[in-house]
A = this chain, B = another copy of it.
Amino acid sequence: MEELIRPEIKEIKDYIPGKTVPGLTKLASNENPFGPSPKALEAIKKSLASLHIYPDQKSILLREALAKKFGLKEDCFIVGNGSDDIMQIAAATYLKCGEEAVIPQNTFSVYEFVTRLLGGQPVFVALKNFEQDLDAMAKAIGPKTKIIFLCNPHNPTGTYLPAEKLNAFIKKAPKNILIVVDEAYAEFAEAHDFPGSVNLVNQNKNVLILRTFSKFYGLAGLRIGYGIGQPELIKYMFRAKLPFNVSRLAQAGAATALLDKKFEEKTYKNNLEVKQYFYAQLDKLGLEYKKSEANFVFIKLKKSADQCFMACFKKKVIIRPLTSFGLPQAIRVSIGTKEQNRRFINCL
């Protein structure tokens, strides 16, 4: 059948996931070490009673909960089977065949995937000191540019775009370009000048924010994420999604997770504390790393990331070698519990 496939499919590389082995310490996929909110789990269990009924096509209850949380209208939200579903929906809505998407190099691979899937052309812009280089990205904009993908905080380097810089970039960019800001890790950010999502959406018709329940909310196995934008931007995206893209359990669990303040505080506080501990240990070992606004730390090695991965794996700790991100001498290590990160430190 190879001669029948779309040429775009030939360009698509396999996604290399973090390895999961039961019983081992997994610090490879930035999952919440506490699991999900117990209240969310209860809501999921309750909704098992109606599992034979199709889910709500428009995730209305969850979108109401999100509207309350953010102080925006429900029409500003669209829910997906993970935030990568929203990336695909955004591309399917806006990216015409042959148009370009400007994408940071060495970043989350699904931006490139959805661009190629829709017949678009990715234009990669090198990082600068492992940060997204907005000046270079602005220069990469051409007449065919339709989407710009930004990742804030940036996966896998943990760096961030401060509000002032990001706002200036968006203001300068042509208004007929969709600017997607993937905030998968935004709930962990501590920087005082981290951009406010609500401001970004209120001030810009062409900005789409992406959020997920996979990281901070510990629901990676359930598959649910969402997009935030002005209603005019979002409404066309509903046309490009599969009717029942989000399960009943995911809708129920996510809506309840948003209400569990205690769980949110516990997760946030643990991340700050273990991150400080982790920095201190890495300093002691003299390792080069980036300060992180997320729940992982990017570490530059002087040797092969794949070898480091194997050495840790033998000691029952799974980390993420960044070879598939195009960084064969760097690793990304999730911030788990202190005990989990101690196990990683002991590997070194």
Q: Tell me the A residues contacting B by CB distance below 8 Å.
A: 1-7, 9, 12, 14-15, 17-18, 20, 26, 29, 31-36, 41, 44-45, 47-57, 81-82, 84-85, 88, 92-97, 110, 113, 117, 119, 146, 176, 178, 205-206, 214, 218-223, 232-233, 236, 238-240, 242-250
Q: Which residues of B contact A45 (CB under 8 A)?
A: 45, 48
- Residue of A35, A47, A219 most packed against chain B (CB within 10 A): A35
Distance in angstroms from A213 CB to nearest chain B CB is 10
Cβ 8 A contact of A220, one of B12, B33, B52, B218: B52
Residues of chain B lying within 8 A (CB to CB) of residue A146: 4
Partner of A57, one of B15, B222, B232, B247: B15
Q: A52-B36, A52-B220, A82-B244 are in contact. Are A93 and B26 (CB under 8 A)?
A: no
Known contacts A53-B31, A94-B6, A249-B222; decide if A236 and B47 are in contact (CB<8 Å).
no
Given contacts A57-B17, A92-B6, is CB(A247)–CB(B244) below 8 Å?
Answer: no
Q: Which residues of B contact A57 (CB under 8 A)?
A: 15, 17
8 closest A-B pairs (Cβ-Cβ)?
Answer: A221-B248, A52-B218, A15-B243, A35-B52, A51-B221, A54-B220, A223-B247, A12-B239
Q: Once the chains are docked, how many angstroms separate the CA of A248 from the CA of B253?
A: 14
Q: A6-B93, A92-B117, A248-B221 are in contact. Are A81 and B84 (CB under 8 A)?
A: no
Is the beta-carbon distance between A178 and B55 smaller than 8 angstroms?
no
Q: How far is the CA of A220 from the CA of B94 in the complex (A)?
A: 30
User: Nearest chain-B residue to A12 (Cβ)?
Assistant: B239
**Chain B residue with minimal CB distance to A97?**
B97
Instruction: Please name the residue on chain B nearest to A248 by beta carbon.
Output: B221
Instruction: Find chain B residues with CB under 8 A from A17 CB.
Output: 54, 57, 243-244
Contact at A51–B35, with CB atoms within 8 Å? yes
B54 near A243: Cβ-Cβ < 8 Å: no
Known: A9-B93, A14-B239. A221 touches B31 (CB 8 A): no
Contact B242 A55 (CB under 8 A): no
CB < 8 Å: which of B20, B52, B54, B206 contacts A18? B54
Given the known inter-chain contacts A15-B57, A50-B221, please indicate yes or no for A242 contacting B29, CB distance below 8 A: no
**When chains A and B are docked, how far (Å) is the Cα of A253 from the Cα of B19?**
22
Inter-chain contact A248/B222, CB cutoff 8 Å:
yes
Which residues on the B side are within 8 Å of A48 (C-beta)?
A: 41, 44-45
Indicate whether A242 sits within 8 Å of B5 (C-beta atoms), given known contacts A52-B32, A219-B52, A249-B222: no
| Chain B nearest CB, measured from A20 CB (Å) | 6
Cα separation A20 to B20 with both chains bound (whole Å): 38
A-B contact pairs, 9 of them (CB 8 A): A4-B146, A5-B93, A17-B243, A20-B54, A31-B53, A34-B52, A35-B50, A44-B51, A110-B242
Contact A52 B221 (CB under 8 A): yes
Complex Cα spacing A220 to B100, Å: 37
The CB with the most chain B CB atoms within 10 A, among A2, A15, A34, is that of A15
- Min CB gap A155→B, angstroms: 14
Looking at the complex, which one of B33, B41, B47, B178 makes contact with A51 (CB distance below 8 Å)? B41
- Asked whether, in the complex, the Cβ of A214 is within 8 Å of the Cβ of B41, the reply is no
B242 and A51 within 8 A (CB): no
CA distance A18 to B53 in the complex (A): 10
Q: Which of B35, B110, B222, B240 contacts A243 (CB 8 A)?
A: B110
